[in-house]
Amino acid sequence: RIVYVNGEYLPEEEAKVSVFDRGFLFADGVYEVTTVLGGKLVDFAGHAKRLWRSMGELEMTPPCTEEELLAIHRELIARNGLEEGMIYLQVTRGAADRDFAFPPEGTAPTLVLFHQEKVIAESPAAEKGIRVISIPDARWGRRDIKTVQLLYPSMGKMMAKKAGVDDAWMVEEGMVTEGTSNNAYIVKGGVIVTRQLGTEILHGITRAAVLRFAREAQMTVEERPFTVQEAQAADEAFITSASAFVMPVVEIDGARLGTGTPGPVATRLREIYIEEMR
């Protein structure tokens, strides 16, 4: 695999980052995951916009321009012959002697990109749907910033695995926030319900596109919080993310939704999304 690090394209074994990198020492970094479908980036502009917002909120210096970043993505896809999968990108505040205060101005940010091959459009999981458990949301309060502090989501994924299911939905003050690495939705009586944007959740790029397509298809969308009980009584549920697109959820905390198979709204939205993004 050829990866990108600070201006160079290198075999992954040769790519190196300093032990003093603030991403490593303080999780002082932000990231994006952009899907590649048929060799093309899906909604690069959306991901770039969110990345610049994340960097702005943390007062980080962008490592390059948006055009340069797009060129790096395309070069990485070309060098690796990537047809379908993800491009992961991470920007950190760079390497500096360990200090809680931000490093001096002029410290070069670290920019790393690599790809992962993955079958997304024809994913077998989408045929069956996934099962989730609910867990408390113990993350920090600025989940709208896409930082690399992913320890709690990673622990949440392990709690799900130990419970024999696929993922966890996080709950704060009785309301579902989102999945470990995806946005959460329920459908009741044809109405799609998903939490409104705020600092409590990541503003999913897939979420924005899917809600737009749903409204264009005359579906009703309500942006508000919902409880686990409401979700368990829903007709269907699903999640969205760059790496899962629209993925049906068929069970929540052991309660089967509807017939326990992917629902019609999730199935239709998945089809529309793939059609539109190809």
Q: Which amino acid is at 74?
A: R
Report the alpha-carbon distance of residue 63 to residue 65 in Å, rounded: 7
Measured from the CB atom, is 16 or 224 closer to ligand PDD?
224
CB of 227 to ligand PDD, least distance (A): 19
As measured in angstroms, the least distance from the Cβ of 115 to ligand PDD is 13
Residue 256 DSSP symbol? E
Residue type, 137: D
Residue 32 or 103 with smaller CB distance to ligand PDD: 32
Single-letter amino acid code for the residue at 158:
M
Look at residues 182, 146, 139 and name the one whose alpha carbon lies nearest to residue 55: 146
Least distance (Å) from ligand PDD to the CB of residue 106?
30
CB 274 within 8 A of CB 244: no
- Would you name the residues annotated as active-site residues? 146
Least distance from ligand PDD to the Cβ atom of residue 102, Å: 24
Contact status, residue 76 vs residue 4, Cβ threshold 8 Å: yes
Q: For 115, how many CA atoms within 13 A lie in the half-sphere containing its CB?
A: 29
What distances in angstroms separate CA 86 from CA 5, 117, 120, 239, one per listed residue?
17, 6, 9, 18
CB of 154 closer than 8 Å to CB of 165:
no
We find the least distance from the C-beta atom of residue 128 to ligand PDD, in angstroms, to be 20
Residues within the interface to ligand PDD (CB under 6 A): 33, 178, 181-183, 202, 204-207, 240-243
> Please, which residue, 102 or 152, has the CB nearer to ligand PDD?
152
CA atoms of 101 and 203, how far apart (whole Å): 28
Question: Which DSSP string corresponds to 185-222?
Answer: EEEETTEEEEPPPSTTS---HHHHHHHHHHHHTT-EEE
Nearer to ligand PDD, 98 or 212 (CB): 212
Closest CB to ligand PDD among 95 and 266? 266
